[in-house]
Amino acid sequence: MMGGTWLSNLDPRAKLAVALAYTLVVALGQRPGPGIMALAASFALYILSRQGMGLLLRRAFSVNLFVAFLWLFLPWRLDWGGGPVWRYHPEGLALAELITYKVNAIFLMTLALLRTSRPTELIHGLAHFHLPAKLLALAMLFYRYVHVIMREYWRLRMALKVRCFKPGNNLHTYRTFAYLVGMLLVRSLDRAERIHQAMLCRGFTGTYWLLDHFRWHRRDTLFVLVSGAGLAALAVLGWRSASWS
Amino acid sequence: MHISEGVLSGPVLAAGGVIALAGAAWGLRKLDARNLPRAALLSSAFFVANLVHVPLGPSNVHLILNGLLGILLGWAAFPALLVALALHALLFQFGGFIVLGANTTNLALPAVLCYLLLSPLVRSANRVTVLVAGFAAGAFSVSLAGIMAALSLYLSGSAFLTSAQALLLAHLPVAVVEGLITALVLGFLRQVKPEMLRGMG
């Protein structure tokens, strides 16, 4: 996850701020031209992050499933005037095109900027944006234990497999999955109890302390300034006209 | 269900963000230090439970279970879902940070409604009442989540009308499966760990 590139050496706070501003500017953009420019910028930054094409293709596939759904339905509309008829709407096609640029630009930028920092660093970085301490503690604990519960889940699935469980369209399948989920919930609650006791042993009073701290370098200032200028240009170009041109 | 970043319009994103923030603030206020790890772990358990693909006809659907989450967590469903979706965005780059509010609201609002309307019935001593309330919670929460997702699309531009209708239609069979699974999970919890059904307030 951590490449040795300059992107992974940037301060997570700088990357979070830029990613957030970028998402805002691109998501609200209304013109395809700046959309393509944003996509090109995201792609360039992704190349610089050196995370390989395999990751890009895997993620692009799942992200674009929703986009494919929109391509399927946006250009068509059911017309009830004189019986139901599907009518072709060219504006819908243009909208689908614009959305494709925006969705891909944003996910590529997220991949380039945020995947090059550790999730714990990012949650810590968010603490500097004055989010509620409880929310961040929730996020830290969620991230810490989601993998543990994931392993628990695969263990239960394995137990089903060795008992020759084959999912089908029947009540037995639904009951089995329901009990699997129920067991997962019971075990995670028991674990939460133990975690809480362990936290009490260590003097937990409601504040989740973050022990390591970031150092802001000149390269972070430079990165924020350059991206800020680029984003301002993109905003002016993309927001100037509100029509789907 | 999960709307990607870059699709919804500014006003819809803003409305979703405001509702999600208000709900999360209220949920956090009601969450004490003892319930914090519980909410976090249940939130990650639901995240993992979403990996379960249940066969449905020739295809399969993945579980959402936001109604069950609402019944178990109450108002804490808002911050729990916000965190789960935010980490989902951070780790897998699905959905960004601006659309987070709308996606959280679409899932958490039905969850909290389930908690407010159905949790007294879920605590009933009668097994059949629990199962019926569970089915209602599962079916209602997913249907409402589908309606809200469709509405988010439609309010972003009338060009989305057909996609919104298709999205809504796709949620109907899922609602039946969710109802069934939620009822059975509640029946299981009622026997194995009944104190879980009392919720966290």
Select the residue of B4, B47, B188 nearest A66 (Cβ to Cβ). B4
Separation CA B44–CA A153 (nearest Å)? 11
**B5, B54, B104, B130, best to mutate vs chain A, most A CBs in 10 Å:** B5
- The answer to whether residue B95 scores a pLDDT higher than 70 is no
The mean-pLDDT minimum among A38-47, A235-244, B167-176 falls in: A235-244
Q: What letter represents residue B104's amino acid?
A: T
Point out which residues pair with A29 in neighbouring strands: none
Task: Please give the model's pTM, rounded to 2 decimal places.
Answer: 0.91
Tally the domains of chain B.
1
> Can you list the alpha helix ranges (DSSP code H) found in chain A?
6-9, 12-27, 32-49, 53-73, 90-114, 119-127, 133-162, 171-201, 218-239
A78–B162: do the CB atoms touch at under 8 Å?
yes
Query: Which range marks the domain in which residue B112 is found?
Result: 10-198
CA A104 to mean position of chain CA atoms: 12
In a domain, B71, yes or no: yes
In a domain, B5, yes or no: no
List, in order, residues 6 or more apart from B90 with CB less than 8 Å away: A114, A119, A122
CATH number for the domain harbouring residue B62: 1.10.1760.20
Backbone φ and ψ for A222, nearest 5 degrees, come out as -60, -45
Model pLDDT for residues B113-162, shown as the tens digit of each residue? 999 999 899 888 899 999 999 999 999 999 999 999 999 999 998 888 88
A169–B57: do the CB atoms touch at under 8 Å?
yes
B38–A193: do the CB atoms touch at under 8 Å?
yes
In a domain, B3, yes or no: no
A111–B93: do the CB atoms touch at under 8 Å?
yes
Counting one residue from A and one from B, how many pairs have CB atoms under 8 Å apart? 222
B41–A177: do the CB atoms touch at under 8 Å?
no
In a domain, B2, yes or no: no
Model pLDDT for residues A33-87, shown as the tens digit of each residue? 889 999 999 999 999 988 888 988 988 888 888 889 888 888 877 766 666 677 7
Q: What is the ipTM for the molecules in this complex? A: 0.92
Contacts of A78 in chain B (CB under 8 A): 162, 165
DSSP A78: E
